[in-house]
Chain A
Amino acid sequence: MLTRRQALAATALAALFVAPGARAQDRLNVIASFSILGDFVKNVGGDRVEVATLVGPNGNAHVYAPSPGDAKKVADAKLVFVNGLGFEGWLERLVKASGTKAPVVVATKGIKPLERAGEHDHDHDHDHGRADPHAWQSVANAKIYVANIRDALIAADPAGKDAYSANAAAYLAKLDALERDVREVIAKIPADRRRVITSHSAFGYFQDAYGVNFTAPQGVSTEAEASAKDVAAIIAQIRKQKVAAVFLENVTDPRLVEQVARETGAKVGGTLYSDALTDDKGDATTYVDLMRHNLRQLASALVS
């Protein structure tokens, strides 16, 4: 006779043992925590690597809740790529729970972290819990991601060294071209019009690298609800500084941004993508597309 407790234990054990053994491929199985990082890894890994992402397109990695399927993916992986800088707070527990022995590669290693938006100028003894994690918003940082990914892949799969180096070099060249274009387009926007409001302050690195000023009615995480005081402060600021445009994003409540735009007469730009790629139907299916899309949106709202 099986007691209920025994039945439960058996089910749990079965779930644990089903995980490995199901794949018979010689491609390197790796995990990337979110879609943009996954795109980097795909570009460097080419066809030697099978990339799975945990937070898919359009997902919000700040408040992601991992599923048992994710634990299985992590358990199967040879490498786990994460952004770091406190971006994936949920990931550490997931890695532990999955029992994987795969090394965890922090793709932002070597990037100089910025403080979270709205907290500049206070204290410069770096408190690492307060770093802004959205480092990929500067192309120069994206190149560091790519170099880190290349080195990690070579370390895990030395036989593919030449392929990884070649892929990375080709992709880095693309990123160089992207960086040139970004600088060129921004240079055409008059300096006093480079002020933008978005609903989610994910563009600190973009601001730092390219000199476009971003302000947000909410803090760096999407968890805090904006108060009437915050909204009033933003409106007052737009009026005072003559901010030119207000942008929506694919991850937070756009209604608030629309209200601010209605009230100030600032132009409502299209969507700026920050934390996630779009799915196949969207117009930011890769990192390069995402940056070019954002650039087009900024240019069309700010030039004129």
Chain B
Amino acid sequence: MSMLNDIFIAPFTEFEFMRRALAGALALALGAGPIGVFLMLRRMSLVGDAMAHAILPGAAVGFLLSGLNLFAMTAGGLIAGFVVAVLTGLVARTTELKEDAALATFYLLSLAVGVTIISLKGTNIDLLHVLFGNVLALDDQTLLLIAANATITLIVLALIYRPLVIECVDPGFMRTVSSAGGPAHLAFLVLVVVNLVSGFHALGTLLAVGIMMLPAAIGRFWARDTTLMILIATASGAVASYAGLLVSFHFGVASGPAIILIAGVLYLSSLLFGRVGGLVRQAFPGRHLEA
């Protein structure tokens, strides 16, 4: 009993930084899970990645202007993300260019602008260290920011849930019954940006995408129903966070990658054994139960 306690519970009771890391990662998983599922259902799985690149320069510029300041880096990231999201939406809706192409152009421009500003400024402070946030060093401010972002995400998602789901399933039908599709889509993109920004404080920009997309893909292999898919995604994000922190604690590997790798292990086993379209399931379909 005491050994189990040492392995699974003591790290968190003994060390405050582990409790903070767990709280931060769980809050992150709570918001990122549903966002990831909708991204996946809308065939926008790579949008998270592109958006992360769009945010990175904004955060870097915020850092250069006022140092390691949570507010400046968050504001910079949000501004860069929103600008790219809105411009992408505008171009996709008013010109021949499709959304993916529009996003590609704007995130690349954003990245180039950011790198240029950093190089003009001429400092050589280790930006990667700053931009890859550290889940082990969450202070009160950062924790509150992550929790607030998760709360906002869940509330807004509850409000736009119906139009969002219908647009995922049948956009043509959505257009005939309601004009809420456009605004819901825009609100959703804003949520994507908000969650990525909160993710880069905890895990760093690139891994923030991981905690969004891997749980969503896991959910896809276990459920057909959107609600269940979201629940499974969120739960597996939470499990990955907890297990990843434990692995980092016991085996001395970096925490952010550990969390994502655990999610990766969950994904691979879902890919193999998932109830919905898992590879083993496909090879041995079992008996058909329908009459």
Give chain B residues whose Cβ lies under 8 Å from the Cβ of A258: 137, 139
Q: Which residues of chain A from 57 to 90 have any CB-CB distance to chain B below 8 Å in the complex?
A: 58-60, 63-65
Residues of B within 8 A of A222 (CB): 126, 129
Report the separation of the CA atoms of residues A212 and B130 in the bound assembly, to the nearest whole angstrom: 29
Bound CA span A260–B136, Å: 10
Q: Which residues of A contact B129 (CB under 8 A)?
A: 222, 252-253
Stretch at the interface among A36-44, A102-110, A230-238: A230-238
Inter-chain contact B254/A227, CB cutoff 8 Å:
yes
Judge whether A228 and B134 touch: CB under 8 Å: no
B17 touches A259 (CB 8 A): yes
Nearest CB in chain B: distance from A253 CB, A = 5
Bound: A45/B21 CA distance, A = 52
Does B18 have its Cβ within 8 Å of any Cβ on chain A? yes
- B124 closest partner in A (C-beta): A59
When the two chains form their complex, are residues A226 and B254 in contact, meaning their CB atoms are under 8 A apart?
Answer: yes
Nearest-Cβ distance from residue B255 to partner chain A, whole angstroms = 5
Cα of A258 to Cα of B137 in the assembled complex, Å: 8
Q: A58 to B258, alpha carbons, bound, how many Å?
A: 31
Contact A255 B124 (CB under 8 A): no
A132 to chain B: closest CB distance in Å? 19
Query: A56 to B255, alpha carbons, bound, how many Å?
Result: 32
B271 interfacial by beta-carbon distance below 8 Å: no
B251 at interface by CB-CB < 8 Å: yes
A253:B253 contact, CB within 8 angstroms: no
8 A Cβ contacts from A245-289 to B: 251-256, 258-260, 262-263
Chain A residues whose C-beta falls within 8 Å of the C-beta of B14 in the assembled complex: 232
Task: Spot the interface stretch: B53-61, B83-91, B242-250, B275-283.
Answer: B242-250
Q: What residues of chain A lie closer than 8 Å to B126, measured between beta carbons? A: 60, 63, 222, 251-253
User: Cβ of A232 and Cβ of B139 under 8 Å apart?
Assistant: no
- B249–A228 CB distance below 8 A: yes
Residue of B nearest to A222 (CB): B126
Chain B residue nearest to A62 (CB atoms) is B126
Q: Is B16 an interface residue (CB 8 A)?
A: yes
B125 within 8 A of A: yes
CB neighbours (8 Å) of A23 from chain B are: none
Chain B nearest Cβ from A78, distance in angstroms: 25
Q: Could you tell me the dominant secondary structure of chain B's interface residues?
A: helix
Residues of chain A contacted by B15 (CB below 8 angstroms): 231-232, 235, 263
In the assembled complex, how far is the CB of residue B189 from the closest CB belonging to chain A, in whole angstroms? Answer: 29
B68 contacts the other chain (Cβ, under 8 Å)? yes
Q: Mark B109-130, 1 if CB is under 8 A from A, else 0.
A: 0000000000000111110011
| Bound: A255/B140 CA distance, A | 12
Question: Would B139 and A259 count as touching, CB distance under 8 A?
Answer: yes
List B contacts of A255 (CB < 8 A): 68, 134, 137, 139
> Does B200 sit within 8 A of A, measured CB to CB?
no
How many CB-defined contacts (below 8 Å) exist between A and B? 91
Could you tell me if A229 and B124 are in contact, using CB atoms closer than 8 angstroms?
no
Task: Evaluate contact between A231 and B124: CB separation under 8 angstroms.
Answer: no
| CB atoms of B137 and A228 under 8 A apart | no
Asked if A301 is at the interface (CB within 8 A of a chain B CB), the reply is no
| Size range of the chain B interface in the assembly | 20 to 34
Q: From B17, B21, B245, B255, give the contact of A235 (CB < 8 A).
A: B17
Bound-state CA distance A263–B20 (Å) is 11
* Residue pair B124, A232 in contact (C-beta under 8 Å): no
> Is B264 close to A, CB under 8 A?
no
A56 touches B122 (CB 8 A): yes
Asked if A60 contacts B125 (CB within 8 A), the reply is yes
Question: A225: CB under 8 A from chain B?
Answer: yes
Question: In whole angstroms, what is the CA distance A225 to B129 when docked?
Answer: 8
Chain A residues with CB below 8 A from B134, complex form: 225-226, 253, 255-256
Whether A263 contacts B249 by the Cβ 8 Å rule is no
**B252 contacts A by Cβ under 8 Å:** yes
Q: Residues of B contacting A64 with CB < 8 Å?
A: 124
Report the bound CA distance from A255 to B134 in whole Å. 8
Is A55 interfacial (CB-CB < 8 Å)?
A: yes
Distance of A55 Cα from B122 Cα, bound (Å) = 10
Bound together, the chains give a CA A263 to CA B18 distance in angstroms of: 11
The answer to whether A229 and B251 touch across the interface, beta carbons within 8 angstroms, is: yes
Chain B proximity of A145: nearest CB distance (Å): 22
Cα(A145)–Cα(B275), bound, Å: 68
Q: Which chain B positions have C-beta within 8 A of A256? A: 134, 136-137
B21 near A228 (CB under 8 angstroms)?
yes
A229→B249 contact, CB < 8 A: yes
Q: How far is the CA of A235 from the CA of B258 in the complex (A)?
A: 21
B17 nearest in chain A by CB position: A259
Tell whether B11 is near chain A: CB-to-CB under 8 Å.
Answer: yes
> Given known contacts A227-B253, A259-B17, is B123 in contact with A58 (CB within 8 Å)?
yes
Question: Is B107's CB within 8 Å of the partner chain A?
Answer: no
Which of B18, B129, B252 has its CB near the most chain A CB atoms (within 10 A)?
B129
Chain B residues contacting A56 (CB-CB under 8 Å) are 122, 124
- On whether the beta carbons of A263 and B16 are closer than 8 Å, the reply is yes
Closest 4 pairs between A and B when the two form their complex, measured CB to CB: A229-B252, A255-B137, A59-B124, A228-B248
Query: Residues on B close to A: CB < 8 A?
Result: 11, 14-18, 20-21, 68, 122-126, 129-130, 132, 134, 136-139, 245, 248-256, 258
23 residue pairs from A and B, CB less than 8 Å apart = A56-B124, A58-B125, A225-B132, A225-B254, A225-B256, A227-B248, A227-B252, A227-B258, A228-B17, A228-B21, A228-B248, A228-B252, A228-B255, A229-B250, A251-B126, A253-B126, A253-B129, A253-B137, A254-B68, A255-B137, A256-B137, A259-B136, A263-B16
